[in-house]
Amino acid sequence: MIHMNRAVALTVLVLGSWTAVESQAQTGPLEPRMVLVAMPYPLPISKIDGARVVLELSIDERGKVTAVNEVAPSDDADFNERVRKYYLKVRFVPALADDGTPVAGTYKFVFKSPNGDKPDPGAPSPSLLDQPSSTSGTASCIADTKVFDEVGRINRMHCKDFAWEYDLLKDIAGAKPVYDERMLKTVRAMYMVQQKVTAEQLSALNAQFSRVIRDTLDECRRRPEEPYFQSVFVPAMKTRLAH
């Protein structure tokens, strides 16, 4: 069962004025994007309450972290080093230029030590991932001031683009499900807004979502040039919900 969390709820609010846009043969630009389900555990914990480290990661065109720069280290040197080693193991969807080409990029953010309680191994640290104001990504060919629009990007996706990004997520995640990664959560939220999904219909949508993703992936293998969201995902979800 996929639950609506705060991130999806915020996406729905943002999408309140959403309208379809003409599809284009690209899915850029995209800032480097951390693959949450593949984050290693446990998270580094400092002996100093509230220890914070400002980091800038260098990420290559394959989504691998090649360097971790401590822009503003904490007063706990051992914690700083454990954080640095931790982020060398984290994986990303690489930055994409406007034409969809994977490029090297950087990802700057604040990491705050979790409280003394042991982190939940099934959930990312809120101090790291739930503060968009503290997280930014830039990449070659992508202006720092350019506002990234995930909804518009998904509307520009063709099937080959969706399959490429989904396959990359699965390759990184292994056997873990990827349905809570940003691309897929946004696809789901877009459908909810466009089709005016009611609270009564939400449980059925949740139950069918993973099946619909698999259906659309199969269809995308057959029709790589087809626009993804409107031409493939929406009909597939409607078909599943009608049964």
What integer best gives the mean pLDDT of the chain?
Answer: 80
Q: For residue 116, what pLDDT is reported?
A: 52
pLDDT digit string (tens) for 34-65?
A: 999 999 989 999 999 889 999 999 999 999 99
What is the residue-wise DSSP string for 207-225?
A: HHHHHHHHHHHHHHHH-TT
Q: For residue 30, what pLDDT is reported?
A: 84
User: Cα Rg for the chain, rounded, in angstroms?
Assistant: 19
Return the higher-pLDDT residue of 215 and 126: 215
Domains of the chain (ranges; CATH) run 6-27+148-242 (no CATH), 33-139 (3.30.1150)
Q: How confident is the model at residue 99 (pLDDT cuts 50, 70, 90)?
A: confident
The whole-angstrom separation of Cα 132 and Cα 7 is: 10
- Before 29, cis peptide (omega within 30)? yes
Q: Residues near 198 by Cβ (< 8 Å), separated by ≥ 6?
A: none
Instruction: Provide the 8-state DSSP code for 15.
Output: G
Q: Which tokens hold the place of 46?
A: 């400092």
Q: How confident is the model at residue 24 (pLDDT cuts 50, 70, 90)?
A: very low
pLDDT digit string (tens) for 133-172?
A: 333 344 433 333 333 478 888 999 999 999 999 999 999 9
